[in-house]
Amino acid sequence: MKIEINNNQIKHSTPKAFLVTIPRSNLKFWIPTSLVFNKGYYSICYLPEDMTFYCEEKNGKKITISADSLAKLFSNSKINKEQIKIIHHVPKQIKATKVEIDDDLKR
């Protein structure tokens, strides 16, 4: 299973792991660098299904969370393409009017 994260969500990096914050929550977790692949402004993180992650809150409380639960936390923050409704505005066409100008105002 994989998740996409914005590179702004990576708060700290070491040669072995990245500290990633979960959007819209106070949780952050460490993930090994071998499971993170940089794609420019975002990164793809692979979450093995049998792996458990140790998340910690801002107050220092540590929580154990499974890969499925972690993926659900990230999927709630992402907007699905089906949810986005694009409306195109087409303005009304304006008809040109004939304008008369005095000859003494022309150059």
Token duo for residue 81? 């393409």
pLDDT single digits (tens) 69-94: 888 887 755 444 555 566 777 888 88
Start-to-end CA distance of the chain, whole Å, equals 73
Query: Are 31 and 53 in contact, with CB atoms under 8 Å apart?
Result: yes
Residue 67's CB is within 10 A of a number of other CB atoms, namely 17
Phi, psi angle pair for 104, to nearest 5° = -75, -15
Chain segment 91-106, per-residue pLDDT in tens: 888 898 988 888 888 8
Judge contact between 20 and 45, C-beta under 8 A: yes
| Tens-place pLDDT, residues 15-33 | 999 999 988 888 899 999 9
How open is the CA angle 79-53-51, to the nearest 5 degrees? Answer: 100
Q: Is the pTM of this model over 0.75?
A: no
